[in-house]
Amino acid sequence: MATLGETLRALKLLTGSRPVKSLLRACHAGRLVGGLSVSLQATPDEVVGPLCHAVGGAARALKVLDVRGGPPLELEVRWGQVHERWALEDVAGLCHNLNDLYRGEASTAAIAVLGDWEDMLQLWCVSRADLPRLLRARVLEDARNVETLRRLAEGSPQTSQPGYP
């Protein structure tokens, strides 16, 4: 079985030559292609722009129409014909909603919520093409939203899960 580093290098998802001890550390160090470290204090409205840019494709067309303070914070968004209000407790909830909104869009990356490291939330935007292989190799097994990622890889409809709106 390939090591974590070998799997990531084979998919061209890792920079640098040092060994990889964990996804969290690699993401925080800026070594994961598509990885983002977000302050635990950041709010969804502060992160939605950079996150949509990292997700790419159709996500770059998302428009935030209004933001209302909370808790929960409420974002009013529009994407094409979709117009929704999202009540969001945190950035992980935003990731869930974005994964759900773009579940059928092959041009967008899936967002893996890897967890906390060094007072930062580690997120990884993974291409839809790479997602099944990463799941088979158990690379994403410890992601907080691994079940969502499995459904996205299978093309199944998304449903809410504990901890996400």
Domain with 61, as residue range(s), is 4-149
Alpha helices in 56-129 (DSSP H): 91-101
Which pair of structure tokens corresponds to residue 64?
């935030």
Question: Minimal CA–CA distance to 13: which of 105, 155, 96, 109?
Answer: 109
DSSP string, 137-150: TTTTTT-TTHHHHH
Does 86 map to a domain?
Answer: yes
pLDDT by residue, tens only, the chain of 165 residues: 789 999 999 999 999 999 998 999 999 999 999 999 999 999 999 999 999 999 999 999 999 999 998 789 999 999 999 999 999 999 999 999 999 999 999 999 999 999 999 999 999 999 999 999 999 999 999 999 999 999 999 985 444 333 333
The model's pTM is 0.91
Does 160 map to a domain?
Answer: no
Does 154 map to a domain?
Answer: no
Does 65 map to a domain?
Answer: yes
Counting the structural domains of the chain, the total is 1
Does 158 map to a domain?
Answer: no
